[in-house]
Every structure is written in structure tokens, then in C-alpha cells.
Amino acid sequence: MEGLKTQVAIIGAGPAGLLLSQLLHLVGISSIVLERQTRPHVEGRVRAGVLEQGTVEVLTRAGVGARLENEGQRHSGFSISANSKTCRIALEDLTGRHVTVYGQTEVTKDLMAARAAADGELHFEVSNVELHDVESDAPSVTFSKGGVSHRITCSFIAGCDGFHGPSRQVIPRERKLEHERVYPFGWLGILADVPPCDEELVYARSAYGFALASMRSATQSRYYIQCRAGENVADWSEDRLWDEIRRRLGPDMASHVVTGPAVEKGIAPIRSFVCEAMQHGRLFLAGDAAHIVPPTGAKGLNLAVGDVQYLATAFDAYFNASNEAGLKRYADVALQRIWKTQRFSWMMTNLLHDFDDSDSFTQRMQLAELDDIFSSTAKQTAIAENYAGLPYDNILG
């Protein structure tokens, strides 16, 4: 078995793992990143694309903000549509902050390029990843690659390996409290090389179900509609999907929808999930390994960046200032932001979707709440504060 050594072993080369590795590199902390997929697969995954202002600031500090600055689309608001009415949530006017539309695929490419430029140690197409002795002062990670077994000895392990990765699984059941809600619907999405139907995102609640008009650039659009859980994407022809998108967005918005062949089409299940044991011994969880949010609030990537910002700060204090306070506070501080973000995503999901078991009273309450939002600056401000992004707490305080 070949031996490797580093300060932090990072499992998962998605945005969370890559960003953590990059931030650690900038303060002189070594890391090794393991990823079960190929590099082209990781770089090609199509994911969310709405970045909070705080996320952009973290990426810029990490040295990967140049292309984001040049190509990202700055949005000062977004719209909610219901009952033939539209309310624009004016983020900048209400909070002084904005969001930036820049695909997670592009964030991943930028981070991958930065790690390669710094000769970062990344291992792709690994298998049999196992975590050992995480409760000791000398944890390790074993894995196989190309038929050769390897062991990484390290000071800490960062589990950035997503909901189905091995990191969370090593925490004993009796030591982790998990909360989950699986929603009875999914999002059917289509990515197409057509101009968006609006300059900003539009969230639509209709009698036929939820729809979202989004974009990746001025020439590439991303649309989603609510569909039943368990539906087969093959049952949705592109013509049927475009017709349903237009129907749910309503006649005014539908007239601006430009259709085209799909670059990518798929169905994503919707769930809310939190594992409150974000630390176990020398193992720390970040991103989807610790939590999943419904995409309605555009928070998945942003929440992962928040975790990484906290964790990188804590590792910096530990290795460079012999200060353990951040590591001890990591889970508590991160979970405060996670639960607030979960609440916002849950609220937006319940507000804008149809549920199979909704009675007429529940449906009227949804409409009444939307009407209240449309007519209340205070409620619009609360939504804007959450959508633009909550501030980071001081993990070392």
C-alpha cells in the first residue's frame, strides 16, 4: 500500500472540496482531494447558478473571481408570479445587495484550474474510499486507484462528498441527529441555447404547478417545472415540456419564451435534509454531505460555500495560530446559518408548489400569503434579505 501524507484529506472534488483545498493552499495548509468520478464528469455537471454576494466575495478571495467578474450576470432582483400578477423583489433597493448568475459548472472549472495551476494534489476515479480512526489524533483515508491501494495519513478529514458519500456514514448512528423531509414532487429541468424570457429569474405559481424561468447566460436558458415524484423524463418530449413551461408561466411571459433543442434535460428529486453532527472527532462535514435544501431558494451552492468559509477559517486558526476555537465552534456556527437557510427554502417551496394532499383551504392560504407579499414592503424585504444571502458569523468569536 502506497503512503501519502497531508494536513487535510478532502473527500469530494465538487465546489465545496475544491474551494476548501484552494483556501487552505492560500494560507499554507496542504491537502489532498479524492474524487470517485472523472475530471470531465465533475466539470460537466450542470447545477445551480445563482450566487449570493457573499459567495462571490469568497470566490474572489480564493483567486477564482476573474472570469466570474467578466461573465457573471449581476441581478438586482427577481420576480414572483401568481394569479396573473407579478411582484418584483428588488434585492438591491431593499437590502443594498445583489446576486450573480454564474453556473456552478463554471465555478467548478475555475476552481479546478486554480488547483491545477498551484499543483494541487487531486486524485480522480478513486474507489473503495474508507475513513479510519477519525476519533483519534491520527486519522487516515484509504482508497484504490488503477488497481493500487493508497493510504493518506492526515491531521483532519473534510467530508465534502455529497449526500451519498462515505464520510457521513462513519458517524455512529447514535451520535448523529438527522432531519429529513422528502417532497412528493421533483423538478423537471431543461437547459437550452436560447435567450432567456426575462432579464431576471421568474418564480411562477400557477393552477398547473410551479415553474421557474432562469438562465445561465444571455444566450442560454434554464427552465424548471414541478412534476410528480417518480416520473420518467423519457415521458416528456421537448414539445410537451415547452408547452407546459409556457402554460405555467402565463400568457404574458409565455410570449417571450424562445424554444430550442435541449442541451440537458433531467428530473431532480426535492428534499430537505440536515445532519446536525457536522463534526465527529477529526472528521468535519461540509456542503451536501451535511445538508440538502430544496432548490426553490437558490441556496445549495451558497450554503456549501458558507460551510467551507467557516471550515477554512477554523483550519487556518488551528494550523497557523494554534487556536482550536473555530474547530470546536464549527458545527454550532454553521448550523445556525443552515437552519435559517432551510427555513427560507422550505417557505419558498411550500408557498409556490402544489401538494397532492392540499385542500382548498391550504391553497387559499398560499394565495393569501402571496397577496400579502405582493402588497407588503416589509415581507418583500424579508425575502430579499434571505435571497441575497445571510451574513457570516464569526466562527472564532
- Residue 76 phi/psi, 5-degree rounding, is -95, 5
Using pLDDT thresholds of 50, 70 and 90, give the confidence band for residue 49. confident
Distance of CA 8 to the CA centre of its chain: 23
Give tens-digit pLDDT for 51-67: 999 999 999 999 999 99
DSSP secondary structure letter of residue 259: P
233-276 pLDDT, tens digit per residue, is: 999 999 999 999 999 999 999 999 999 999 999 999 999 999 99
Residue-wise pLDDT for 178-221, tens only, equals: 999 999 999 999 999 999 999 999 999 999 999 999 998 889 99
Give the mean model confidence (pLDDT) for residues 15-26.
Answer: 98
Quote the pLDDT of residue 1.
62
Q: Are 222 and 202 in contact (CB under 8 A)?
A: no
**Average pLDDT of the residues in 99-115:** 95
Ramachandran class of 287: left when φ > 0, alpha when ψ lies in -120 to 50, beta otherwise:
left
Q: Give residue 279's pLDDT.
A: 97
The three cell numbers of residue 119 are 499543483
- Asked if the model's pLDDT at residue 47 lies above 80, the reply is no
CATH of 2-75+100-180+271-354, one of 1.10.10.10, 3.50.50.60, 3.30.1600.10, 2.40.30.10: 3.50.50.60
Query: Once rounded to an integer, what is the mean pLDDT over residues 368-394?
Result: 96
Q: For residues 141 and 312, give the distance between their C-alpha atoms in angstroms, rounded to a whole number.
A: 20
Q: What is the pLDDT of residues 137-169, one digit of tens each?
A: 999 999 999 999 999 999 999 999 999 999 999
Kindly report the backbone phi and psi dihedral angles of residue 116, in degrees, each rounded to the nearest multiple of 5, phi listed first: -65, -40
Query: Per-residue pLDDT averaged across 319-327, rounded?
Result: 97
pLDDT at 44: 82
Q: Which residue type occupies 32?
A: I
Residues annotated catalytic, as ranges:
75, 203, 295, 299, 387
Question: Residue 43: which pLDDT band, with cuts at 50, 70 and 90?
Answer: confident
For 281-318, the pLDDT digits (tens) are 999 999 999 999 999 999 999 999 999 999 999 999 99
> Could you tell me how many residues make up the chain?
397
Q: What is the C-alpha to C-alpha distance for residues 205 and 183, in angstroms, rounded to an integer?
A: 17
**pLDDT reading at 24 higher than 90:** yes
- What's the first-to-final CA gap in the chain, in angstroms? 42
